[in-house]
Each structure stands twice: as structure tokens, then as C-alpha cells.
Amino acid sequence: MPDDALDAILIQVTVPLPVPMIYAALTSPEQLTGWLCRSARVSPKVGGEFALTFDEPIAFESAGKVERWTPDVDVGFTWLAPPPFAGLMNSPPGPGDVYVRLQESPEGIDITLEHTGWGSGDAWEEARSWHFHFWEDRLQRLKDYLIKTASG
């Protein structure tokens, strides 16, 4: 990426629930569909599939690959952007990366999402803004999903 590339997206939510429960919501296809996407295919190993299909806000599939997989610690995957940004983001130098890590804090477990791979210029700013709002919404959905699941 160029020296003037946009900063990574960095979003965090805190959930007062056990790490294994949170990690499962980030990696289990059945649970991913409860808060993130319409369908998911996940192969739990580095190099494995991490494909997510969405109906909203735009219909698309991000057919990524697992880049990091440390149970109860982190998961990282390549990200293929939706159609409005595919020409910009999915061509060389390559797709962006999404990395999610879990860390204990006094209030519970911090879930931090980092999305990297941004270029520079107006088109990149628009793509980054769209993704920022997308991930911000999805992390709030994750928190709501986890709390609802825990409370039965």
C-alpha cells in the first residue's frame, strides 16, 4: 500500500461473557448466521475457507481464506469487497484483511476488529467509510446476539 494509504479500521466492543462463547460466535457457521451473514463456510485452519454470503445491505459473497486461527484468541481472514468496491479492493495488490482478537478487560472481553488493506484517494475513502459503518453495525449485532443467546 502507498505511504499515504488510509488507516486501518479499528472497532471494539466489550462483552461480559466467556471467551469460548464469543469465539464460537466468530467462527461457527451456524452462529455467524445469527449476527453477521446469511450463510457461512468456515474451515478451521490457516489456509482454510472463510466464505460469507450477505443479502444486506448489499447481496455479495466474500470468499476469503483463514489467515489466523488461534482458538479463544483470534481469527483473521482475507476479505473480498461487495460489488460497489470490488474493482477497487479485490484486484492487486489483493484483498484486504480482517483480524478479530479477544482480550480480557475489567469490563469483560474486548472484541477488537481490524480491517486493513486500504489505498488512498476519494474512492478508497468511500470504500473505507462504507466498511467502517458495516463493521460497526455488525459488531453491535454480535454483542446483541451474544447477550441474547446467554440470557436464553
What own/partner pairs with CB < 8 Å and gap ≥ 24 does 25-28 have? 25/142, 25/145, 25/146, 25/149, 26/75, 26/100, 26/111, 26/142, 27/69, 27/75
CA proximity to 111, closest of 11, 44, 25: 11
Mean pLDDT of the chain: 95
Q: What CATH number has the domain bearing residue 76?
A: 3.30.530.20
Question: What φ, ψ does residue 79 adopt, rounded to 5°?
Answer: -125, 125
pLDDT, position 151:
93
pLDDT, position 1:
53
CA quadruple 60, 47, 140, 94: dihedral sign = negative
pLDDT greater than 70 at residue 7: yes
- Convert the pLDDT of each residue in 74-125 to its tens digit: 999 999 999 999 999 998 777 899 999 999 999 999 999 999 999 999 999 9
Cis peptide before 93 (omega within 30 of 0): yes
3 located within any domain: no
CB atoms within 10 A of CB 133: 12
Domain count, the chain: 1
pLDDT, position 2:
59
Domain of residue 136 covers 9-151
pLDDT band of residue 4 (cuts 50, 70, 90) is confident
- Convert the pLDDT of each residue in 40-62 to its tens digit: 999 999 999 999 999 998 999 99
136 located within any domain: yes
121 located within any domain: yes
CA quadruple 51, 53, 56, 57: dihedral sign = positive
pTM for this one? 0.94
Share of the chain above pLDDT 90, in %: 92
Mean pLDDT computed over 14-28: 98
1 located within any domain: no
Beta 60-70 vs 49-54: how paired, if at all?
A: antiparallel
CB 101 within 8 A of CB 74: yes
